[in-house]
Chain A
C-alpha cells in the first residue's frame, strides 16, 4: 500500500449549513486501488463529505486533491474532474425518463462526446459487467431496487473513473436485494478500483476494505484496518457504534 501514491487527498475539510458546522476538519487520503469504508451515525456528515469530494457541495474550507490536481481551486474545470470520480447514490437517482442503456450512455455521448455507436457498445459492456445486459431497454420504474442500483454503478463506471464514491448504496434496498449489489462492488474492489464506500454492511467492510474510517459529529474519531477496528477498537464510541450497527443490521454474515 505504501508504494502507491495517494489518488485522493483531503485536507482539513470544513462545511457549515447556516450556523451548524457539519464537517469540522476532516483529512485523509486514499491510495490507488484502495477501498476505504466510511461509517458513522446518521446525520454525521458522511454524505456531505462525499459531495465535498466531487464538489457537488463545495467545502467552505480545506483542500481536495485528485491525482495531483486541486479540485477546490476555483479555476479547475470541475466537469472534467467529475468524470474521474463515479458517484453511486443511496436512492440510485437513475434518470427517470431514460431506459437502462440510455442511462449509462448519456454521459458517454453528452460529456465524453463519444460517437453513438461506440457509446452504445461501451454502455452494453458496462451493463454486462453488472449482469444487466438483458434489461437494457427497461426503464428505472420497471426495475427492482437492486437492479436500479446496479445500473447506477454501470452508469458511473462507464465514464472510466479513477475513483468510485458510494453513498450507502444498499441502505434503500430490501434485504434480499442487497447481495447482488454487494457482489458487484466486491468484484470491482478485487479488480483494483479505488473506492470510498459509505456503508453499514459490516460484512463488506470486514472482508473487502483496507481501512475503516469512523466519522462522528463531523470529525474522524478513529481509523484503522478492519481487524483492529473489530477486534480492538481504540475508542469507546467506536465499540458502542459497532455494537449498535450489528444489532441493527444483524451481525456480520454478509
Chain B
C-alpha cells in the first residue's frame, strides 16, 4: 500500500521527466534523420571522395560509445573553451551518432530499390533531383520503416545516458524523487523502467501501424510469404 502511494506520488515528476525524454528522442532522431538521409544519398550517388569521408564518419560514430561522445561534446568542448549547453551537446552527440546508423539503414534501402528505378524515371525526362523526390525517396522511406523502428527504440532508451550531463530527463527525475523522499529506490527505478517499456512498446506499435498503412500492395517481404515457423 505504502508502495503504491509512493509510486502514485512520484508519477507527476516522472511524467515531467518523460516529456523531456520524448523531446530528446525527437530531437536526436530528427537530426539523425536529416543528416543520415543526406549521407545515405551521398554514399550511393556521391563521388569517391564523398563516399570515403562518409564511410569514415559512419565507422567512427558507430565505434565510439555514446557516453564517450556525450563527454566529448559536453565536458570536452568546454575544456576547449567552447560553451555548449547540455541539451545542445546531447543533441550533437546522440543525433550525429544516430545519423551514422540511419545513414546505413537508408543506404541499404536505396541499394535495394536499385538503379533500375532511377533509370526508368530518368528515361521519362525527370531530373535526378525529381527522381529522388518522387520515385526513390517514397520507396526507401517505406522500406526503412522496420529498421527505423529499431533505431527509434535504441535512441529512446539511450536518452537515459544524458543523465550523465545533468539533464533532468526521466531517470534523473527518478533519482531526485529517491533523494527527496528517501523512498524505496528499487521501486522507483522499476517504475521508470516500466514507463520506458510502455513508451518503446507504444512507439513500436505505432510504427508497425505505419508500416501496414503504407505497405505497397502485393509487395510482401519474403518472410511473410514463406511464413517462417519453428522446427
Contact = CB atoms under 8 A, between A and B. Distances in A.
Direct contact of A and B (CB under 8 A): yes
Interface of A: 51, 54, 56, 79-83, 85-87, 89, 91, 93-97, 106-107, 110-111, 138-142, 155-156, 159
B193 to A, nearest CB: 39
Given A56-B119, A96-B117, A96-B139, A79 B217 contact: no
Given A139-B219, A141-B219, A82 B142 contact: no
A126 to B, nearest CB: 13
Contacts of A156: 123-124
Interface in B161-215: none
Residue with the greatest number of chain A CB neighbours at <10 A, chosen from B119, B124, B126, B217: B124
Interface in B86-138: 113, 116-117, 119-127, 130, 134-135, 138
A93 B124 contact: no
A103 B120 CA distance: 11
Contacts of B124: 82-83, 106-107, 111, 155-156, 159
Contacts of B135: 95, 97, 106
Contacts of B220: 141
Contacts of B139: 95-97
A155 B135 CA distance: 14
Interface of B: 113, 116-117, 119-127, 130, 134-135, 138-139, 142, 216-220
A67 to B, nearest CB: 15
Nearest to A108: B124
30 contacts: A79-B125, A80-B125, A83-B124, A83-B125, A89-B119, A94-B120, A95-B120, A95-B121, A96-B113, A97-B138, A97-B139, A97-B216, A106-B124, A106-B134, A107-B121, A107-B126, A110-B130, A110-B134, A111-B130, A139-B217, A139-B218, A140-B219, A141-B216, A141-B217, A141-B218, A141-B219, A142-B217, A142-B218, A156-B123, A156-B124
A238 B219 CA distance: 43
Contacts of A140: 218-219
B142 A97 contact: yes
Nearest to B120: A93
A213 B134 CA distance: 37
A142 B219 CA distance: 8
A75 to B, nearest CB: 16
Contacts of A85: 123
Given A54-B123, A87-B120, A107-B121, 19 more contacts: A56-B122, A82-B122, A82-B123, A82-B124, A83-B124, A86-B123, A93-B120, A97-B138, A97-B142, A106-B124, A106-B134, A107-B125, A107-B126, A110-B130, A138-B217, A139-B219, A140-B218, A140-B219, A141-B217
Contacts of B216: 96-97, 139, 141
A111 B117 contact: no
A206 B219 CA distance: 38
Contacts of A97: 135, 138-139, 142, 216
The 7 closest A-B pairs by CB, nearest first: A141-B218, A142-B218, A93-B120, A83-B125, A107-B124, A87-B123, A82-B125
B123 A56 contact: yes
A83 B218 CA distance: 30
A210 B134 CA distance: 38
Given A79-B127, A91-B116, A96 B219 contact: yes
Nearest to A93: B120
A88 to B, nearest CB: 9
Contacts of B130: 110-111
Contacts of A95: 117, 120-121, 135, 139
Contacts of A141: 216-220
Nearest to B133: A110
A97 B135 CA distance: 8
Nearest to B119: A56
